[in-house]
Amino acid sequence: MQPSHAGNVGAAARAIKVMGFSDLVLVRPRFADVLVHEETVAMASGAADVLVRARTVASLDEALDGVTHVCATAMTPRDFGPPVHAPRPYFEALAARGERVALVFGTERFGLSNDDVYRCHACLSIPTAPGYGSLNLAQAVQVLAYEWRQAIGAFPVLPRTAGEARADWPAIEGTLAHWQQVLLAIGFLNPAAPKKLMPRLRRWLLRSAPTEAEVHILRGIARSVQRASSPRDARLD
């Protein structure tokens, strides 16, 4: 409702896009051109498609067309207002009902008016530290978009090596052989009493399941150590 800062509009668009949503409606924004403002686009950071589809309307009634369940957002409860809930448990119950849900946010300075809160089915209050519950508008959008996404079906967390090829067995064995050569050259590995150094390095590499790129890094480090530890005259040859 009545956003006044272009940066918050852009950041809100980014917040909902990363959670898989795209429906952004501005009710009486302070500036008519806020959706194309330079700061808005910059803060959207890749969510320009959300801004392109966003609607600007003159009233909350227009914004809520087609919505079946409306949640206000407020830090404190309002007398005679709808019941106040923490987002997570409320969303968990709401998700099973198949409602078309709208989250209504107020202005940066004053939040939602009492009249707007009264028109909603529920009021959501994000739990915060006692004594300071002030959230930036875009931050509040991000928190609630995340909680709603979790309730209706979270996106999977991708493995850190997604899309990267794992190093095969010869690559790992070649890396170990290279490091053994280097460790012998610098005196770190005693061939007369090797103990368990190389088996432990092998166990570490197998457990970490390095990618091809990571093995190349390890081999590159070994080559640098070899060059640094070689006699100066040998390096000049």
Domains and CATH numbers, the chain: 6-153 (3.40.1280.10), 169-236 (1.10.8.590)
Q: What is the pLDDT along the chain (237 residues), one digit of tens a residue?
A: 678 889 899 999 999 999 999 999 999 988 888 888 899 999 999 899 999 999 999 999 999 999 999 999 887 766 767 999 999 999 999 998 989 999 999 888 888 888 899 899 999 999 988 888 788 899 999 999 999 999 999 999 877 655 678 899 999 999 999 999 999 999 998 888 878 899 999 999 999 889 999 999 999 999 999 888 876 554 444
| Cβ pair 197, 183 in contact under 8 A | yes
Residue 28 Rama label (left phi>0; alpha psi -120 to 50; beta): left
**63 phi/psi in degrees, rounded to 5:** -65, -30
- For the whole model, what pTM was predicted? 0.69
